[in-house]
Structure 1
């Protein structure tokens, strides 16, 4: 055997065990440098739910655009009620009845009033609305009269023009995730089309000869390919369009072909499995083979220390652990922020809270641990309870978790009551 080839192989093999570990924030910063902002597209407002605005939107007109009644009642001139301070009633002649959507052509003058509905335009001359329950009425000779027995201040129950927004004011900032409230305000201003960031298309596949399709029956020594479907769900939540690809066996030549094809076709590629230091961990070998730029292949975190990122032709590849707990955490810390940056969102990372540990956490590690847990509030205190089963290979507690509890190595574990940082999981408090 050629000694040079043999030496090169030995050096390549040793590199598996000589990975340089980076801190989580450093790994996140490295990735940010390679993220390219995605392109935009225009969609109808009814298709905008869950999308991210790609441009600022300003008010084309004031809102409300007219003086609006806040009550069912009577539009009056407030000075007509000055005499009511001593309990005396003032009787006003009713000159109009104004439903919503109508504009009165009658001017309210001293001694007159107009019946008005909630939301209707307050007629000219009137400067207040007295609520129906505070009045009494009578009809004499076919003319309706209304009595007011209390002093009514000017502007009472009248919403002024532009109370909510003035013309030209910023309605929504670019990078805003569109939800029901945003849809409502955009529709109010007649914005029937919105420019949004196009969803990144992400190819995902798992590696491992041990994987079965989810439709296959169980076989000895095999497991079903659940990570791919978990990642697809996480990608959808993060605003991407997932493309589920078939799992591949432990074959580095086939893996290289599939990765290269995926990187040509999709905006980002995410794999799960094959990144540790075993003989069959092909993704780890692939990213170190020189066919792409390795960003990092070890992070000072548990679970998921073998989380790996690389870039080729400007496109990012994330190779996550095959263990479901580590895969889940690796996605949240690195892939999700990448997608949010591509979409132009401002808050890239999981929201941080402070909490107290609800039970002892005894595991000690040289790396920061991201422990699945649940949050609850007791006597005004936020309590974080670690999951009883939090091993990297455990998947069942993922569905029950609302946070990741951050346990740095200097704590050497943590007792109940310890103040800790927690990262809120998407939808974790719903």
Structure 2
């Protein structure tokens, strides 16, 4: 390829809208039908993983009438007139703890002392709390004075009240929380099937890059993007495989991609994707676009430029049934590119059919006065003031600047245009984690 042809190829990349690029990606992933691997894990270790099976209740829950608190099992009809001034005295015929079952039958004028979670004995239809009673004696035996009327069913959890035998607990793709673990354990699931973490190859390109632990040299910088990408992969549920930094040589990059495709479920690179003379990933993508294959396997470029700021050179290809993401070398642009395309791929592999980041509405705290011909994704922190979820844009917004990355909680989506967005406007915000606190807060806000 001569220089003139190279220039035309590099500079004539058509920018596609973000939504279209995401749709192309998810369509290609569904079409590729890359098998999702499943593994078994101990229940207590399953938190944060995605469930790979449908789980159902193995019994009614509660499985028996269950006391909701410490007190006395009684017949509600016996205490209809009970009050602090005129307590009703009942003979105590048994006392049981949780896990025990009383053989006594509660008849009129009797009660059974029981603890929270114990089975309510036959004949009783209510439990009166301990604080509404007093110790007493009746004909020389133990008795209890009930100082408050009780309604039928009071403080008694009925069989099947929460779950019915065979009822759904959770389906494939569910993100397992500690609450899920409690429910699954209740029904005897000591192990659960989860989607295996997809292995994601990560490497950077650029002759200027040094290992993170190296001393700085004139004109060179440390490869911090690889570690950042690995952390983003791990946070999204994947297993990063670090290949380090590679020079801007197509043969070495191709060799690394060969190894990565053979051993991993996807590849993510950072750097070398723009229009410079040494942008090796742009050359790699061009070769796929021209031939429609890679190493004799069918391959296609899904997009080679996205109408967004930062990170417009972001590119993606499907090689066989595995995706390759060529992300920007600028830290902020790399971060955004991963969130918009890399994380949806991982979530798709983990059985999350929605895959895309959760979007919520927030009030903008400060002006974003810079317009853009493309959509902009502005880093922000989230705060709650006066019952409103608010987005506070972070400074240092240029794609190569890193100072605001540690504080970034979300991305403000600013439509293309000359005006940006004004303080007080409602804006769309993409959450970088499915934070239930944020989701619940947003759900109750105007």
TM-score range, shorter chain: over 0.9
Judge conservation of contact 1:402–1:427 (CA < 8 Å) in 2.
Answer: no
* CA–CA distance in structure 2, aligned partners of residues 103 and 356 of structure 1: 57
Residue 69 of structure 1 corresponds to: 67
Other structure's SS at 1:182 match: helix
Cα deviation, residue 221, structure 1: 1.0
Q: TM-score, normalised by structure 2?
A: 0.91
* 2:98 is the alignment partner of 1:100: yes
Residue 25 of structure 1 corresponds to: 19
Question: How do 1:160-239 residues align onto structure 2 when only pairs under 5 Å count?
Answer: 160-239=158-237
1:40 to 23, 38, 41: 38
Cα deviation, residue 383, structure 1: 2.0
Judge conservation of contact 2:236–2:343 (CA < 8 Å) in 1.
Answer: yes
Residue 9 of structure 2 corresponds to: 15
1:288 to 283, 286, 289: 286
Cα deviation, residue 140, structure 1: 5.0
Other structure's SS at 1:286 match: helix
Residue 376 of structure 1 corresponds to: 383
Other structure's SS at 1:359 match: coil
* CA–CA distance in structure 2, aligned partners of residues 388 and 151 of structure 1: 63
Judge conservation of contact 1:87–1:150 (CA < 8 Å) in 2.
Answer: no
* CA–CA distance in structure 2, aligned partners of residues 170 and 148 of structure 1: 40
Residue 133 of structure 2 corresponds to: 135
* CA–CA distance in structure 1, aligned partners of residues 403 and 284 of structure 2: 30
* CA–CA distance in structure 2, aligned partners of residues 183 and 89 of structure 1: 44
Residue 306 of structure 1 corresponds to: 313
Cα deviation, residue 376, structure 1: 1.4
Question: How do 1:375-414 residues align onto structure 2 when only pairs under 5 Å count?
Answer: 375-410=382-417, 412-414=419-421
Unaligned 5+ residue runs, structure 1? none
Between the two proteins, the alignment pairs up a number of residues equal to: 424
Other structure's SS at 2:398 match: coil
Other structure's SS at 1:136 match: strand
1:150 to 145, 148, 151: 148
Moved more, 362-371 or 86-95: 86-95
* CA–CA distance in structure 2, aligned partners of residues 242 and 109 of structure 1: 66
1:276 to 255, 260, 274: 274
* CA–CA distance in structure 2, aligned partners of residues 420 and 167 of structure 1: 45
Residue 252 of structure 1 corresponds to: 250
What's the C-alpha RMSD, in Å, of the aligned pairs? 1.7
1:367 to 364, 367, 374: 374
Other structure's SS at 2:20 match: helix
Deviations 1:161-219 (A, max 9, x none): 11111111101111101121111111111011211111111110000011110111111
After TM superposition, what 4+ stretches of structure 1 lie above 4 angstroms from structure 2? 427-430
Judge conservation of contact 1:135–1:146 (CA < 8 Å) in 2.
Answer: yes
Other structure's SS at 1:245 match: strand
* CA–CA distance in structure 2, aligned partners of residues 344 and 395 of structure 1: 32
* CA–CA distance in structure 1, aligned partners of residues 401 and 137 of structure 2: 78
* CA–CA distance in structure 2, aligned partners of residues 217 and 16 of structure 1: 34
Moved more, 335-344 or 348-357: 348-357
1:354 to 336, 356, 361: 361
* CA–CA distance in structure 1, aligned partners of residues 127 and 249 of structure 2: 78
The 1:368–1:137 alpha-carbon spacing in structure 2 relative to 1, beyond 3 Å, is same
Deviations 1:10-46 (A, max 9, x none): 3233110000110001000111122235121222212
* 2:331 is the alignment partner of 1:337: no
Moved more, 37-46 or 313-322: 37-46
Cα deviation, residue 110, structure 1: 0.6
Unaligned 5+ residue runs, structure 2? 289-293, 439-446
* CA–CA distance in structure 1, aligned partners of residues 327 and 105 of structure 2: 72
Judge conservation of contact 1:208–1:247 (CA < 8 Å) in 2.
Answer: yes
* CA–CA distance in structure 2, aligned partners of residues 13 and 166 of structure 1: 66
Cα deviation, residue 358, structure 1: 1.2
Deviations 1:349-396 (A, max 9, x none): 111112222111121211111000112122222221211111000112
Cα deviation, residue 410, structure 1: 2.6
Judge conservation of contact 2:54–2:170 (CA < 8 Å) in 1.
Answer: yes
Other structure's SS at 2:335 match: helix
Cα deviation, residue 419, structure 1: 2.3
Deviations 1:370-427 (A, max 9, x none): 0001121222222212111110001121111111111111352222222221111226
* CA–CA distance in structure 2, aligned partners of residues 392 and 300 of structure 1: 15
Judge conservation of contact 2:74–2:128 (CA < 8 Å) in 1.
Answer: yes
Other structure's SS at 1:84 match: coil
Deviations 1:98-145 (A, max 9, x none): 111110011110111111111111111111111111112223564101
Judge conservation of contact 1:37–1:341 (CA < 8 Å) in 2.
Answer: no
Other structure's SS at 2:152 match: coil
Residue 324 of structure 1 corresponds to: 331
